[in-house]
Structure 1
Amino acid sequence: MAHADVSEAVRLEARPGAPLIPLSEIALTGIYEISKILNAPNRLEATLSNVLNVLSSFLQMRHGVISLLADDDIPDITVGIGWNEGADERYRARLPETAIGQIVATAVPLVAENVATHPLFATDAALLGAADDVRVSFIGVPIRIGAKVVGTLTIDRVWDGRSVFRLDNDVRFLTMIANLIGQTVQLYRVVSRDRDRLMAESHRLQKELLELKPVKERKKVHIKGIIGDSPALRSLLDKIMIVAKSNSTVLLRGESGTGKELIAKAIHELSPRAKGPFIKINCAALPESVLESELFGHEKGAFTGAVNARKGRFELADKGTLFLDEIGEISPAFQAKLLRVLQEQEFERVGGNHTIKVDVRLVTATNRNLEEAVARNEFRADLYYRISVVPMLLPPLRERRGDIPPLAGEFLKRFNEENGRAMSLDPSALEVLMSCGFPGNVRELENCVQRTATLAHGPSIMMDDFACRRNECLSAMLWRGHSEVAPPRLRPAVSFPVLPAAADGTSADTTPGQAVADPAHATAGSGAVSRGQMPDRDRFIAAMEKSGWVQAKAARILGLTPRQIGYALKKHGIEVKHL
């Protein structure tokens, strides 16, 4: 058979007794499996060890070692099959120093059919297990980043008498794997340096925030569209004023409905980029294939339906701000694509090969616990460090109750303008709103005001106009019985207990987010009315008399909300006395 035909006819027997497999199929399958490993969000040493594990199943090899040279502040790394913490020296001792030195110096692969007779292994043959009755062959290829050699990939095997052509194929296969490893190492080192820089910048900004003067000594910050004057909101606005001046990436954390998009826009409008575009996209609203096109754009004919070239959101946000909402919902595969853009500020359109550079400030938002997602390998740690330069926690509405009246007033004003009405909020209506927990935060408050205003009969919204007064609040039904609505460590747990059943078997309505204390557990020292054997009606009358027939005070005595005690008084037919 002519040598030119050998490449098509040669088959490799991977294991004794196994079927013969085409070399081309082995190479393609191996590259595919290794590329999946290199894209996984693992520690670099573990990733490289997994690459060697896969190689051992595709090649007849006894040992495999990947050695990376030191680079700036990053130490050298040496891993082998089955790597674990502290095993670097064991694998490093197996490396033939002279041969490795030549590979690094020449950037050329090295093949030795028999290390015992090769001059470069004169002092290292025994390290590889060569003996009089054991003939060991060696293959080493350089790992490069551009033209620079940053490490080596080496394997050794007991010589099986196969042709030199077999070794040549293995060299080509290992060279392709080394190129993939080089790209991964480059990204890792860029991320590592960038992470250190970002963490230093984050520390500087956090220190500056901590050194802020007391709020009373500073002029109050007012941002268009953000309503409220509670301490929690004031603290957030002060941070926004400082963070907006820089180009640092911001990660907005908080529950759904707290106004993350509004805060992102405020950061943009207070920044030096205010004259540039503010582009936003919800990452959870689009499938991965569509999201890639939306963010990076596409060329004409890139896929079915792409009749024209189109700019992506990154291009549209050039010299401005890009807001990525729900970033915690993107898939691990897309996280790798996004990371490169955030690192280099450059990308290619879908179906294109022209690199586009942009200048974009990134603001991201999520209500997920990203730390737990990183621990479960659901979110890349390198991407987490890239987006979490300045994390900002948005307070839930229950932690800024003082902002409920102005917010409710603003929402009612908008309702009146849109519907040509002139409705107002009765003080009793504000009492109902102030007693609600609002798990859906500002968004739920707005819906509640609009719904109640739509269904109200009089010129003012009264206490009895609210759905919760008629036990028809869908939010209360949704959250009742849930012990926690917040991701761990993002905000305190909030319980939504149900009021204990009354004598007739019915249950008093409870407000979502409002913990209700059982009056039976109240202490005498707190001024509570002890339940003992007292019937419910007498208990409520006693509390009302003790409070001078003021419902709010009686509610505090019994550990209830004003709305709940109002419901109980009606239920038991207790007439409120006016002193």
Structure 2
Amino acid sequence: MEYRQRYCGTQLAPHLIGICLCEAYVSRIDSHCSTPNSTKPLRFARFRLVLSRVPKMITCDTLSKSPRTIAMEVHTNCAGEGCPMHDDLASAASCAELRRRRELERKAMLQIARLLSDHPGQNQTLLEIVDCIEQHLGMRHVTVMMVSVDGQRLELAATKTPLTDARGHVGYDRGEGVIGRVLQAGQPEIVSPIGDDPRFRNRIHQRTPFQLESHAFVCVPITVEGETFGTLSADIETKNADELQDAAETLGIIASMIAYDVNGRRTRRLEREMLELQNLQLRDTLQERFRPSNLIGGSKPMRQLYTQIQQVAPSDTTILIRGESGTGKELVATAIHCTSARSQKPVVKVNCAALNENLLESELFGHEKGAFTGAVQQRNGRIEEAEGGTLFLDEIGEFSPIIQVKLLRVLQERQYERVGSSTTRTANVRIVAATNRDLEQAVRQGQFRQDLYYRINVFPVHLPPLRKRRDDILQLANHFVAKFSKRMDRPIKRISTPAIDTLMMYHWPGNVRELENCIEHAVLLSQEGVIHSHNFPPTIRMPDEKHPNGSETENCFSLSTRVNSLERDMISDALKRSGGNMAAAARELGISSRMIRYKVRNLGIDWNSEL
């Protein structure tokens, strides 16, 4: 009664008063316990621990009861809502501890769900999830690992305090160690204690010998649609099988939440990549519509060239085509004319390097009868012949100073006179010039007029050399094979793989013209409808040791280049056989869909053109 009077007169809450009453009762029992080995103090100490965790059962109604009655009720009730009475204190304490763990798990799940719903960067989200698991669930060395691009190795994605040499490059191969086995089998693994399993690599974190003996290791797979693409693992300071199983289930739930989030991110990324791919395909389709029929090639430099032709063709702007010898400057000039508004009028081509100064002036402007020795009759010039159409001046850098002045007048005023005539004529032509010379240097050296340079360089078009558009070599080779096969009446079925490798590795100083001559030579020597590498000229089969870019040629014979070429051929053939279905092609090659997508992107395979 004295304890009730002492505590009931205070401002304490009812359940705190109940605790105080029970503790007073415990202290009274302890003071009257005279047996040294009595278990009552220990028993009531355990009772006090349980009571402190479940104060809600002490209500105002209990204040009328004696402390002994209160203590006995707590002794057999863990204070869980809807929980039955327990037979002893141990079961009540175990039940209370289980409820406490469930409450912590619930809070951890709620926080992880909130982290995933915020949608920050994936790496930051995984780090926050790791921190949440360690704080709320009392686990240590929580680690998230994700599958590499090729799908054969696990790489560290998120953890706290890894080893210094583990940052950035640590990983496990499929089937290696405990974590690698989880990736391979797709099933959770429990190692208790850690040090007893020889498979455990202890590669990411530093664990003491005590931790290896006292802690267990739990690893669960992160799985989406039956495909394992990561693992979640943690150390737990217990050897109790039930607790370890509960921990594995909890980590499995968290792994499922991570998988759902990662799968959503992956789906969005794939949708974005698909949209980008469709965008590229639409652009390629549009560029294909505007691609001149006389030009061959689908490489990036050629697509840029088609865009330039499309932009400049409708106007009458003067164009300067620049590029090495044999790149097809005349074909580009023809393509510009055929896609312009002057396409119904003639296109006249003049090779300025083939004529001397006097002949070139007469060739361009025409002459009157008797204008010079040998002028037995009047002749129209090329400018007059191209009236209403296009005049293509090849090798304009070879013009003499006198011809440059007269051509400048044609460009500026659209006027000229025939040789030997004083009658001024009007030129209604579009001029397209071409050169393989460095006109800027010629201007600096005084060999080319600066004002003429600015007049013809209104819209420069640069043609890439063949070595810069290797993706087009096979397409060009097939075109020339069909051309000369028909001309020579020698049916050619295919070009052998070694022959294709030879074409791809050569540096082509003569560009497309040299490739054309090479294919003509090979068609002439081919047998049984197949072109082999020994059918090519010797200069193609043997690398040029004096080539200034010899390093580029040497790289063509490197192991990585040969391997990439073989992979490109195998994947291209598989895509052809599967009709462009990457999943089917991956199954045929024995690799994952993720791997074939990575290879197609990394090797620059235009899978749409393989259909």
Normalising by the smaller structure, the TM-score range is 0.3 to 0.5
Length-normalised TM-score, structure 2: 0.44
Query: Which structure has the larger Rg over C-alpha atoms?
Result: 2
Q: Kindly indicate which of the two structures has a greater share of residues assigned to helix.
A: 2
